[in-house]
């Protein structure tokens, strides 16, 4: 974490250089370039079908671009094999999904521990601490189906942050949540950002996007524009507090 | 940081732990798969055990019989077969002079008479028993077997002494009454797997005395009079056991004997080899049926496991894709799947073998008696061999069924699998 703060302004966590992605005749992404600096919070917006998920899957090393380069933490990952991508993914990336993607037969804490297991060493106490952070310590032994959508998404966030990833990616993290649960999850992201995490969030909700420092807008697979959002420094701290109080109430 | 981690209690989510978690938290699915494997293991065990029992019973039977040809009064060959195989009591008579005549033929190596009697009731037994009188001087059939338990020569067996089969509950030295007359048990035989187990052996002389003296009235009252009446009791025998000389054809010998004596003495005969081959074929049918059943169940178990583990199932593919997102290699996914299948097999095999042990072993004698087939208990070694073979096959079932799925998981498209869930 201390490392992360040195050179935060200059170091590039992610560089997207002219990537395209085609699924047969469908051009999901064409010639997209942008950069995400360490500690930055970026939102990707755009209408349905504009290529947001395709984009985040490529950044998250779940898929490879048809052409162009993806430079993650200084390494070009665009032409790595699936197994090599798996290693990068587990070492450097934390993932949060609209559909949560929790392992249904594992408890909340076990879901967090699986991420630890494949990354390094399983430490149940640390996993419990992560759940505590998202206000779910009491629900640690529950299976996903015994949790509400909001709770499942918070487990997902705990799982994403457990290995202190270089980059946290979230695809519509509030898409399946009601407003209040969406707010709890966004408060968690605010906290993570305040602590120095680099975050890329895909959303079609302008309120969610407004939390980020920059918004990248995709249209028909093309980069329509990149906008700088009004600085929200004050709001971040304030929001951090709100998140904490909300979670305290939950716990 | 890493060192600190190591000191903390670590619970590794190994493939085994993940597989176990899957099974434990889907009890219905896991239970029914286990049940299928258990059914297969049980059926295979039953097939293998029945097969082994029948084979040992059969070999006991052919070894014990000794005779190549058995001559009985016309119409009684089924009764003799029943008496030999299952100890079904029956009595029938022909004339003793026949024995010498048969012995006179060049192709006959040995011939010895037996006299059968059916006890009406005896202190020892709740059911009728077959009493077999044999001729100690000429016997070559049961004699050698009886001698294995008897501590004196056959010729010294008194007219008040008997040798009992393994299923007759009387210890040596005890006394049993037949038709009111007391007999001392001289020896009790080991299991033979055939009718002899529920038979009682005595000398021909003792059997004659019993027929003649004690029980004539009773026999007559029951309508079980010897063929020729009381006067002929001394001359009555039930069956002649014949051993053909080496080098002579049993078939030809049987034909010749039939030609000469069938009509005058109203005889019929059993060729031991034919009888045994008839039993062999019924044994074959039964084992075939059971093995067929086991095969069918195996097919069903394989199919069910295949379907459940199949990566064709979107749900399973999705779960695996999630693990992959978190950093599991494809090999690991395959390993988890195989472990899961192996655990199911393991539980199923244990269940099936346990059930076979509990249900089949104790009730086998009854089952075989009902089926009218010779039964001999297996040695520990034989039972163990059956158990191990079945266990190995059952253990193989799960991984075999899941192997295709495991293989296809190594080609899993993570991103595509997760999209399908949307
Ligand atoms: N695996 C795929 N095969 C074929 N077409 C795909 C695939 N993934 C995405 N697409 C197409 O690419 C386009 C962008 O999809 P997506 O990235 O999911 O958009 P968004 O997340 O912005 O809604 C869509 O037209 C979609 O149908
Ligand atoms: Mg999408």
Q: In this structure, which residue's CA is closest to atom 20 in ligand 1?
A: A49
Q: Is the pLDDT of residue B228 over 70?
A: no
CATH value at residue A17: 3.40.50.300
Q: Is residue B9 part of a domain?
A: no
Q: In the predicted model, what is the mean pLDDT of chain B? A: 81
Chain A residues in contact with B324 (beta carbon < 8 A): 86
Q: How many domains does chain B have?
A: 2
- Closest ligand 1 atom, residue A52 Cα: 22
Q: Which residues of A touch B11 (CB under 8 A)?
A: 113, 122, 124
Does ligand 1 have an atom closer than 6 angstroms to the CB of A28? yes
Q: A26 C-alpha vs ligand 1 centroid, how far in Å?
A: 8
pLDDT score, position B219:
57
pLDDT level of residue B60 (50, 70, 90 thresholds): low
B255 and B378 both lie in a single domain: no
Q: What is the ipTM of this complex?
A: 0.82
Q: Is residue B187 domain-resident?
A: yes
Count the domains in chain A: 1
Residue A56 pLDDT: 94
Q: Is A223 in the pocket of ligand 1 (CB under 6 A)?
A: no
For residue A6, is it within any domain? no
Quote the pLDDT of residue B180. 76
Q: Is the CB of A173 under 6 A from ligand 1?
A: no
Beta-carbon separation of A99 and B422 below 8 A? yes
Which residue puts its alpha carbon closest to atom 21 of ligand 1? A53
Distance from CA of A234 to the nearest CA of B (A): 33
Residue B98 and residue B247 in one domain:
yes
- Percentages (nearest 5) of helix, strand, coil residues in chain B: 60, 15, 25
| A241 has a pLDDT exceeding 60 | no
Report CA(B357)–ligand 2 centroid distance (Å).
Answer: 57
- Is position A182 within any domain? yes
Inspect the interface and report whether the beta carbons of A120 and B422 lie closer than 8 Å: no
Residue B97 has pLDDT above 90, yes or no: no
The preferred substitution site among A22, A26, A44 for testing ligand 1, maximizing ligand atoms within 8 Å of CB, is A26
One domain, residues B193 and B335: no
Does residue B94 form part of some domain? yes
In this prediction, residue A101 carries a pLDDT of: 92
Instruction: Please compute the mean of the pLDDT values over residues B352-367 and round it to a whole number.
Output: 87
Here the tokens at position B127 are: 């059911």
How far is residue B334's CA from residue B339's CA, in Å, rounded to a whole number?
9
Q: Judge if B303 and B163 occupy the same domain.
A: no
Partners of residue A99 in chain B, C-beta under 8 Å: 418, 421-422
Which structural domain range is residue B38 located in? 15-59+279-420
Select from B375, B360, B373 the least CA-distant residue to B166. B375
The verdict on B235 and B284 lying in the same domain is: no
Q: What are the residues whose beta carbons fall under 8 Å from the beta carbon of A31, sequence distance 6 or more?
A: A18, A19, A20, A68, A222, A223
Instruction: Name every chain A residue with its beta carbon within 8 A of the beta carbon of B24.
Output: 105
In the sheet that holds B108-118, the strands lie side by side as B175-178, B181-188, B161-164, B199-203, B130-134, B108-118, B239-244, B69-73, B267-271
**Whole-model pTM?**
0.70
Shortest alpha-carbon distance between residue A24 and chain B (Å) = 14
Structural domain includes residue A2: no
The lowest-confidence range among A99-108, B128-137, B311-320, B381-390 is B311-320
Instruction: Kindly report, residue by residue over B1-38, the tens digit of the pLDDT.
Output: 343 333 334 456 788 888 888 888 889 989 999 999 99
Residues B340 and B298 in one domain: yes
User: What is the dihedral sign for C-alpha B179, B182, B183, B184?
Assistant: positive
Residues B247 and B99 in one domain: yes
Q: Confirm or reject contact between A118 and chain B (CB < 8 A).
A: yes
Place of tokens 């097969």: B51
Of the candidate ranges A65-79, A143-157, B209-223, the one whose mean pLDDT is the lowest = B209-223
Nearest to A121 among B6, B322, B418 (CB): B6
Instruction: Specify whether the CB–CB gap between B13 and B22 falls below 8 A.
Output: no
The SS3 assignment for B261 reads helix
Residue of A nearest to B5 (CA): A123
Q: Which residue of B has its CA nearest to A62?
A: B415
Burial grade of A2 (CB within 10 A; 0-12, 13-18, 19 or more): exposed
CA nearest neighbour of A170 among A96, A243, A221, A98: A96
Judged by CB atoms closer than 8 Å, whether chains meet at A115 and B22 is answered as no
pLDDT exceeds 80 at position B71:
yes
* Residue A189 belongs to some domain of the structure: yes
3-state secondary structure chain A: CHHHHCCCCCCEEEEEEEEEEEECCEEEEEEEEEEEECCCEEEEECCCCCCHHHHHHHHCCCCCCCEEEEEECCEECCCCCHHHHHHHHHHHEEEEECCCCCCCCCCHHHHHHHHHHHHCCCCHHHHHHHHHHCCCHHHCCCCHHHCCHHHHHHHHHHHHHCCCCCEEEEECCCCCCCHHHHHHHHHHHHHHHHCCCCEEEECCCHHHHHCCCEEEEEECCEEEEEEECCCCHHHHHHHHHHHHHHHHHHC
Confidence of residue B422 (pLDDT cuts 50, 70, 90): low
pLDDT computed for residue B218 by the predictor: 57
Indicate if B100 and B228 belong to the same structural domain: yes
When CB atoms are compared, the residue of A62, A101, A122 closest to B12 is A122
Is A7 within a domain? no
pLDDT recorded at residue B67: 84
pLDDT tens-place string over residues B117-152: 877 655 556 667 888 899 998 888 888 888 888 888
Nearest Cα residue to B340 out of B107, B22, B32, B78? B22
Go through A17-40 and write b for each residue having 16 or more CB atoms within 10 A of its CB, e for each that does not.
bebebeeeeebbbbebebebbbbb
pLDDT-based confidence at A232, cuts 50/70/90? low
CB pairs under 8 A between A and B: 86
For residue A8, is it within any domain? no
Of B21, B418, B422, nearest to A110 by CB-CB distance is: B21
**Tokens 């004596």 belong to which residue?**
B261
In whole angstroms, what is the distance from residue A75 CA to residue B252 CA? 94
Q: Are residues B51 and B120 both part of a single domain?
A: no
Q: Which of B387, B377, B379 is nearest to B357 (CA)?
A: B387
Average pLDDT over residues B391-398: 92
Can you read off the two tokens belonging to residue B321? Answer: 């894709």
Q: Are residues B180 and B113 in the same domain?
A: yes
The last residue of a domain, from among B203, B236, B265:
B265
For residue A124, give its domain range: 13-250
pLDDT band at B271 (very low <50, low <70, confident <90, very high): confident
Cα A215 to averaged position of ligand 2 atoms, centre (Å): 16
pLDDT-derived band at B39, boundaries 50, 70, 90: very high
Residue nearest to atom 14 of ligand 1 (CA): A51
Q: How confident is the model at residue A59 (pLDDT cuts 50, 70, 90)?
A: very high
For residues B271-299, average pLDDT: 82
User: Domain for residue A5, yes or no?
Assistant: no
Give yes or no for residue B81 having a pLDDT over 80.
no
Helix B27-65 to helix B77-86 angle (10° resolution) is 120
Q: Quick one: B340 and B258 in the same domain?
A: no
Q: Which residue's alpha carbon is nearest to atom 4 within ligand 1?
A: A23
Interface touch A95/B325, C-beta < 8 Å:
yes
- Local confidence band at A110 (pLDDT 50, 70, 90 cut-offs): very high
* Sign of the dihedral through C-alpha A98, A104, A110, A113: negative
The pLDDT of residue B230 is: 46
Within this chain, do residues B53 and B21 fall inside the same structural domain, yes or no?
yes
How confident is the model at residue B122, as a pLDDT? 53
Compute the average pLDDT of residues A5-34.
86
Of the candidates B6, B10, B421, which has its C-beta nearest A99's C-beta? B421
Query: Packing angle between helix B77-86 and helix B272-309, nearest 10 degrees?
Result: 60
> Is B10 in contact with A124 (Cβ distance < 8 A)?
yes
Neighbours of B172 (CB within 10 A): 14
Judge: A122–B11 Cβ closer than 8 Å, yes or no.
yes
The answer on pLDDT for B207 being more than 50 is: yes
Which of B119-128, B208-217, B333-342, B406-415 has the highest average model confidence (pLDDT)?
B333-342
For residue B415, give the ligand 1 atom closest to its CA.
1
Confirm whether B64 is domain-assigned.
no
Average pLDDT over residues A65-71: 95
pLDDT of residue A21: 96
Question: Taking CB atoms and an 8 Å limit, are B319 and A102 in contact across chains?
Answer: no
CB half-sphere exposure, B46, CA atoms < 13 A: 26
- pLDDT value of position B222: 59
């Amino acid at each position: 974490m201390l490392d992360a703060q040195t050179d935060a302004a200059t170091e590039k966590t992610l560089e997207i250089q002219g990537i395209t992605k085609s699924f047969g005749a469908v051009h999901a992404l064409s010639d997209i370039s942008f950069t995400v600096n360490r500690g930055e919070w970026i939102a990707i917006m755009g209408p349905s079908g504009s290529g947001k998920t395709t984009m985040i899957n490529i950044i998250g090393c779940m898929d490879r671009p048809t052409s162009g380069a993806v430079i993650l933490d200084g390494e070009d990952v665009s032409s790595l094999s699936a197994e090599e991508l798996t290693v990068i993914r587990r070492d450097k990336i934390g993932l949060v999904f609209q559909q949560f993607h929790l392992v249904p037969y594992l408890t909340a804490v076990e879901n967090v521990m699986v991420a630890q297991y494949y990354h390094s060493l399983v430490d149940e106490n640390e996993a419990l601490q992560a759940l505590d952070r998202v206000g779910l310590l009491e629900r640690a032994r529950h299976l996903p189906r015994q949790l509400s959508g909001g709770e499942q998404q918070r487990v997902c966030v705990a799982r994403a942050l457990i290995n202190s990833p270089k980059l946290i990616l979230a695809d519509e993290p509030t898409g399946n949540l009601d407003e209040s649960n969406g707010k709890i999850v966004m408060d968690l992201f605010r906290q993570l950002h305040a602590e120095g995490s680099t975050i890329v969030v895909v959303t079609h909700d302008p309120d969610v996007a407004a939390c980020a420092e920059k918004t990248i807008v995709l249209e028909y697979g093309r980069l329509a524009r990149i906008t700088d959002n009004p600085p929200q420094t004050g709001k971040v701290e304030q929001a951090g507090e709100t998140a904490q109080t909300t979670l305290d109430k939950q716990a | 940081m890493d060192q600190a981690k190591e000191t903390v209690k670590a619970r590794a989510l190994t493939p085994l732990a993940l597989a176990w978690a899957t099974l434990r938290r889907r009890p219905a699915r896991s239970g029914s798969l286990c049940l299928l494997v258990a059914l297969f293991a049980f059926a295979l065990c039953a097939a293998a055990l029945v097969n082994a029992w029948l084979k040992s019973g059969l070999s006991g039977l052919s070894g014990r019989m000794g005779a190549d040809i058995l001559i009985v009064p016309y119409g009684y060959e089924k009764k003799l077969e029943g008496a030999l195989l299952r100890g079904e009591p029956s009595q029938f008579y022909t004339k003793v002079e026949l024995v010498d005549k048969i012995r006179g033929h060049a192709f006959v190596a040995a011939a010895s008479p037996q006299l059968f009697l059916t006890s009406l009731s005896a202190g020892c037994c709740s059911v009728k028993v077959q009493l077999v009188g044999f001729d100690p001087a000429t016997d070559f059939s049961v004699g050698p077997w009886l001698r294995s338990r008897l501590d004196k020569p056959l010729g010294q067996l008194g007219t008040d002494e008997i040798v009992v089969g393994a299923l007759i509950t009387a210890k040596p030295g005890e006394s049993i009454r037949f038709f009111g007359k007391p007999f001392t048990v001289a020896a009790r035989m080991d299991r033979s797997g055939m009718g002899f187990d529920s038979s009682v052996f005595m000398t021909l002389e003792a059997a004659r005395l019993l027929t003649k003296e004690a029980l004539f009235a009773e026999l007559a009252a029951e309508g079980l009079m010897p063929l020729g009446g009381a006067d002929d009791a001394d001359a009555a025998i039930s069956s002649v056991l014949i051993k053909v000389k080496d080098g002579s054809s049993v078939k030809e010998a049987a034909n010749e004997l039939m030609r000469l004596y069938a009509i005058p003495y109203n005889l019929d005969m059993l060729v031991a080899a034919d009888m045994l081959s008839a039993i062999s074929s019924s044994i074959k049918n039964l084992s075939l049926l059971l093995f067929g059943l086991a095969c069918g169940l195996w097919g069903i178990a394989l199919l069910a496991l295949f379907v459940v583990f199949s990566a064709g199932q979107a749900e399973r593919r999705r779960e695996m894709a999630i693990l992959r997102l978190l950093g599991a290699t494809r090999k690991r996914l395959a390993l988890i799947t195989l472990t899961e299948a192996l655990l199911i097999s393991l539980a199923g095999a244990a269940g099936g073998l346990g059930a076979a042990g509990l249900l089949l072993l104790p009730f086998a004698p009854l089952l075989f008696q009902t089926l009218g087939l010779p039964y001999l208990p297996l040695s520990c070694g034989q039972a163990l061999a059956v158990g191990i073979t079945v266990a190995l096959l059952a253990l193989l079932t799960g991984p075999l069924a899941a192997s295709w799925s495991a293989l296809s998981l190594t080609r899993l498209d993570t991103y595509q699998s997760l999209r399908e869930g949307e």
